[in-house]
Structure 1
Amino acid sequence: MKTLLISLILLMTFSSQAFASIGTDTWFISPRQAKTHLPRSTVLDVRSASAFGMGHIPGSVRVSWQQFSKPSGPEHGELLEPEALQEAIRKVGVSNQIPVVVIGDANEGWGEEGRIVWMLRALGHKHVAMVDGGIKALKRAKFGTRMGTSATPQPGNFTIEIDPSLVASHDDVKKAMKAARTILVDTREGREFSGKTPYGEKRGGHVPGAKHLYFKELMDKNGMILPREEIEKKLDALGITTTTPVIAYCTGGIRSAWLVAVLQHYKFKASNYPGSMWHWASMPAEEFPLQSAQN
């Protein structure tokens, strides 16, 4: 009995220390902060297998947004059904009681680290953050890396508890088209916003009334997230304040998820439309309209 009591106390102490390392309002951490967080967290790396193999943080597990999403077609950006999704998340070692740190390549990537952070937060994990600047920032901070394949994690016990405030549906987007209070933000490249379809959308253009803000405009040349005051200036130009509901979208909810993560960190009210243009553009034009430079 005494041994069991001591074990429970140690577990509670460990859990409280771990959670203290990543606050519920912290969606990204600096490389300096990562020195404290990485040893006590589950570490996920979203880069390609080749990039991961050339150098990764020891003990990290390579993941991709695709393994948690529907396989193909118009719903490719949507998350898996809950039972399959929960199992996929447990398989990479995620548990509710252990913080998660996500590493990407801010310069070369598509915001995949933000997608994983947004996904886990939307599914109820409250202690998840991405590393500002990604793997390159960690290397500049003299973190050691290891070549080779991904670690084999112990399965986690993650349980889904959806936070609906972080997820937008196509019905929410339709309502936002008619309600000036909610602002739609298109996080794709300018050519996509204007009507080009380089990434497989059925139709080109943007949701009527949407504002354009390419997600990498919130980074500097090194892939580091801009200071709060600079981001607030960009958002203010779009009519967005911390009290403005924002729905972000892109092609498949990846780049938009990264932007949502940054906005949430800075206390903005943002949600992600995971289906995004792959879904919206596949639906009937009469009910799911798009505007482009041509119309």
Structure 2
Amino acid sequence: MSPLIEITDPHILDGSAILIDVRGGADAHDRYLAGHLPKAVFAGLDADLASHPENAANGGRHPLPALEDFAATLARWGVMPDSHIIVYDDKAAAMGGARLWWMLRSIGHTNVQVINGGLKAATDAGIQLTTGEYQNAAVGTYPIAAEYTNTVDIEEVKKAAKDDNRVVIDVREGVRYQGITEPLDLVAGHIPGAVNLFYSTSLSPEGKYLTSKALETLYKDTIGDVKPQNVIVHCGSGVTACHTLLGMEHAGITGPKLYVGSWSEWSRRDLPIATTEQ
């Protein structure tokens, strides 16, 4: 199954799939209530797709929720292991849509797709949005997975960033990577040895992913001959990195891993920090 689905696909509106609208930010729920695809349930990036540690130095700003909590959330949304899930957000998958896709894939739920272009693609196509809350009938349980797969911890990143046979990709904007500015975390800069590939370079001016061929060229220019399973992707807090992981999957590059803690964890651990491009 392709990780992306076009807004013209009938499965989006014919009721055969579970639609999930992911929003981030303090006004996430208000934006959802003001307009979403028909029969789309609300998912909050902070409420549903992350846990809330007291100290971001241990796991970053958006650590993954406990597996039992995520399973309970899926059951509340009416998701079963064989459900076809279609996900979108209002930021071209960069603020939660791809994160939910990645989380589902990570626990073994493969029947999930992300709307290419997100909510904007829907409004550009003239689809009438609906307001208010929508909820599916909850199911009893969703099986709890043994683990989130394809993740690495901070110790693994330390090793990988020094290994010529591995690549650590930082998908934040160039000015954050270079240490010129840092609007969200405590210290500006990047992990020494990490390379920069701003996540939005994978998008067209309309906010859709580039073709799979164009994405393959883009990513392979960055990772070179390194095997996909030796690639680690991170961002500020493990959210927009999933946007790049989704793009890689669409390009046929399977196996890269997510550093969930990302810069928000690394920058709080009194570790080496670089401020110039490698």
Q: TM-score, normalised by structure 2?
A: 0.86
Structure-1 residue corresponding to 2:75: 90
Q: 1:69 aligns with which of 27, 31, 50?
A: 50
Question: For the Cα contact (< 8 Å) 1:124–1:160, is it kept in 2?
Answer: no
* Equivalent-residue separation in structure 1 for 2:226 and 2:206 (angstroms): 26
List runs of 5+ in structure 2 lacking aligned partners: none
Structure 1 residues 181-192: aligned runs within 5 Å: 181-192=165-176
Structure 1 residues 45-124: aligned runs within 5 Å: 45-47=21-23, 48-67=28-47, 68-72=49-53, 73-74=55-56, 75=59, 76-106=61-91, 110-124=94-108
Displacement of 1:81: 2.0
More helix as a share of residues: 1
Question: For the Cα contact (< 8 Å) 1:248–1:272, is it kept in 2?
Answer: yes
* Equivalent-residue separation in structure 1 for 2:277 and 2:85 (angstroms): 44
Superimposed CA distance per residue, residues 247-289 of structure 1 (whole angstroms, 9 cap, x where no aligned partner):
111111011011111112222132211111111111132xxx2
1:40 matched to 2:16 = yes
Question: For the Cα contact (< 8 Å) 2:173–2:198, is it kept in 1?
Answer: yes
1:260 matched to 2:260 = no
List runs of 5+ in structure 1 lacking aligned partners: 1-22
Return closer, same or farther for 1:105/1:240 CA change in 2, 3 Å cut-off.
farther
Question: For the Cα contact (< 8 Å) 1:111–1:257, is it kept in 2?
Answer: no
Return closer, same or farther for 1:208/1:81 CA change in 2, 3 Å cut-off.
same
Return closer, same or farther for 1:162/1:217 CA change in 2, 3 Å cut-off.
farther
**Percent identity over paired residues:** 23
RMSD, aligned α-carbons = 2.2
Q: TM-score, normalised by structure 1?
A: 0.82
Question: For the Cα contact (< 8 Å) 2:52–2:63, is it kept in 1?
Answer: no
Structure-2 residue corresponding to 1:239: 223
Return closer, same or farther for 1:231/1:178 CA change in 2, 3 Å cut-off.
same
Question: For the Cα contact (< 8 Å) 1:183–1:240, is it kept in 2?
Answer: no
Structure with higher Rg: it is 1
